[in-house]
Amino acid sequence: MAPKDEIDGMKFEQRHGKERVRVGRVWRSGKDGRHFFVEWNVSIGLLSDCIPAYVRADNSDIVATDTMKNTVYVKAKECSEKVSVEEFAILLAKHFTSFYPQVTTAIIQIVEKPWERISISGQPHDHGFKLGSERHTTQVILTKNGTLQLTSGVEGLALLKTTKSGFEGFIRDHNTILPETRERMLATEVSATWRYHFESLQSIGKVPLGFTEKYLDVKKVLVDTFFGPPKEGVYSPSVQATLYDMAKAVLARFPDVSSIQLKMPNIHFLPVNLSSKVNPVIVKFEDDVYLPTDEPHGSIEASLSRIRSKM
C-alpha cells in the first residue's frame, strides 16, 4: 500500500491498478523465419499522490486503469526485439514512474503462460507451439528514485517420485494415527520465488542479463535436487528437509540470487487396502496401488536468504 496519509484524524492508505491484462506477442526472425511467442497475464499496481480522488471526488491526479491496460499493448508493440518477462515488467514500471509525476511506485506482476515450441519428427517447428505446465512469474517494484526489487519465480512445478521418501520421528499424541515409514511416495507442486540482488535500475545497466535462461537454470537446480541422480536418487526424510536442500542449492549455484522462498504442499497418495467380511484381502497394499488425493494436503513453506538480503 501507499505510505499512510492522515485524513480527518485517521490514517489512510491507497493504491489502484489494473489486473489480469492478457497480452500475446509474436516476434518473427528475419534470418531463419522462426517465430517466437509469449502470452503474459499482467497486473499493475500504482502508489500515487491522488488523495483528492478519494476525499473530494477530484480525479485530476488519477491514472485511469483503462489507460494502464492500453499501455501494456503499446509497450508490447514497442518491443521490436524479443524480451523476457522480467525485462517487460521493468519496462512497464519505468514508464509509469517516469511518465506520471503523481506516481511514486509501480508494482508490476506478470505470469507467463507456458507455451513451448513443438517438435515434429525430432525437428523444432518454426511457428508451432503447445501448452506446457509450470508458469514463469515475475514481480517488479520500482520507485520514482530508481529503487528496485526484482523477483522471478515458478508456479505449478509438479514433481513426484515413487520411492526414496519417508517420515518418522515426529511428535505422537492421542490424536496421531499416522504410521512412521521409510518407504512412501513423495509428490508436490512447487511454487518458488527468488529475489535478485539488484537494488536499483542503475545496478542492472543495459547489458542483457538472460533472465529466461536463469529461470530455466534455477528450475533445473530445483528439480535435480528434488530427485537426485537418475539411478540411485536421493532419500527425503521429510518435505521440510528436501525443501531446505533445494533452497540451499539455488543460493549456492547463483550468486546473484539473494533469497528464495519455496512453497511445497505434501500431496498425498494413500495406500489402497480393500477387504470385506466375505473376503478379508481383496487388495493388499504392496507399495503398488494408491489412491491419489489433492486435499487435504500438508502445507510446507520456508524462505532462505543471504545475510543482510531483503526478501
Binding residues: 65-66, 167, 184, 239-240, 266
Distances (CA, A) of 274 to 144, 277, 288, 304: 64, 11, 13, 43
Distance, in Å, from the CA atom of 25 to the CA atom of 81, rounded to the nearest integer, reads 11
3-state SS assignment for residue 245: helix
Binding residues for urate, by number, are: 65-66, 167, 184, 239-240, 266
Please return the burial class of 65, using the count of CB atoms within 10 Å of its CB with bins 0-12, 13-18 and 19+.
middle
3-state SS assignment for residue 304: strand
Which among 18, 95, 214, 219 is annotated as catalytic?
18
Q: State yes or no: is 136 an active-site residue.
A: no
Q: State yes or no: is 248 an active-site residue.
A: no
Which among 35, 65, 104, 163 is annotated as catalytic?
65
| Pairing of the two strands 135-143 and 103-112 | antiparallel
Distance, in Å, from the CA atom of 224 to the CA atom of 290, rounded to the nearest integer, reads 25
* Residue 123 in grid coordinates: 525437428
- The conformational region for residue 46 under phi > 0 = left, psi -120 to 50 = alpha, else beta, is beta
**Positions of E strands within the chain:** 5-7, 10-12, 16-28, 35-48, 103-112, 115-120, 123-131, 135-143, 148-161, 186-196, 257-263, 269-271, 290-292, 301-305
First-to-last alpha carbon distance for the chain, in angstroms, is: 17
Lay out the sheet containing 35-48: strands in order across: 16-28, 35-48, 103-112, 135-143, 148-161, 186-196, 257-263, 301-305
- Are 92 and 76 a contacting pair, CB within 8 Å? no
Which among 94, 95, 219, 268 is annotated as catalytic?
268
- The conformational region for residue 283 under phi > 0 = left, psi -120 to 50 = alpha, else beta, is beta
Positions annotated as catalytic residues are 18, 65, 268
